[in-house]
Structure 1
Amino acid sequence: MESPGFSRGEEVNLGDRDAIAWVLDERRMAFPPTARAEVDRLAEGDTLLVYATRGAFGNPTRDRGRVIARAVVASPVVALDEPVVFGERSFPRGCELRIEALAPWGSGVELQPLVERLEAFPDARSWSVRLRRPLLRLPAGDAELLTRALEPLAGDPAEHLDGYRARARRISGRG
Structure 2
Amino acid sequence: MSSATGSFLMIIGDREALAWVLATRQTAFPAGRAREASGLAAGDSVLLYTTRGCFRNPSRDRGRIIAHAAVAAPVTHDDEPVEFGGRGYPLRCPLHLTELAPFGAGVVLADHVTSLYAFPNPKAWSIQLRRPLLPLNEHDHAYLTRELTPIVAPVEETIGEYLRVGVPPRSAAGER
Name the TM-score, length of structure 1 as normaliser: 0.90
Give the aligned partner of residue 89 of structure 1: 87
Answer whether contact 1:72 1:100 (CA < 8 A) is retained: no
Q: 2:101 aligns with which of 100, 103, 122?
A: 103
Cα displacement (A) at 1:37: 3.5
Answer whether contact 1:80 1:94 (CA < 8 A) is retained: yes
Cα displacement (A) at 1:7: 6.1
**Structure 2 residue matching 1:149: 3-state secondary structure:** helix
Could you tell me the percent identity over the aligned residues?
46
Cα separation, 2, equivalents of 1:88 and 1:128: 25
How do residues 60-71 of structure 1 correspond to structure 2 at under 5 angstroms? Answer: 60-71=58-69
Letter in 2 for 1:145: Y
Q: 1:7 to 1:136 in 2, by over 3 A?
A: closer
Cα displacement (A) at 1:100: 2.5
Cα separation, 1, equivalents of 2:12 and 2:40: 17
Cα separation, 2, equivalents of 1:81 and 1:114: 39
The structure whose Rg is larger is 2
Give the aligned partner of residue 152 of structure 2: 154
**Structure 2 residue matching 1:11: 3-state secondary structure:** strand
Cα separation, 2, equivalents of 1:53 and 1:7: 23
Q: 5+ unaligned residues in a row in structure 2: which ranges?
A: 170-176
Cα separation, 2, equivalents of 1:89 and 1:148: 35
How many residue pairs were aligned? 168
Answer whether contact 1:7 1:45 (CA < 8 A) is retained: no
Give the aligned partner of residue 36 of structure 2: 38
Name the TM-score, length of structure 2 as normaliser: 0.90
Q: 1:22 to 1:35 in 2, by over 3 A?
A: closer
Give the aligned partner of residue 53 of structure 2: 55
How do residues 72-83 of structure 1 correspond to structure 2 at under 5 angstroms? Answer: 72-83=70-81
**Structure 2 residue matching 1:158: 3-state secondary structure:** helix
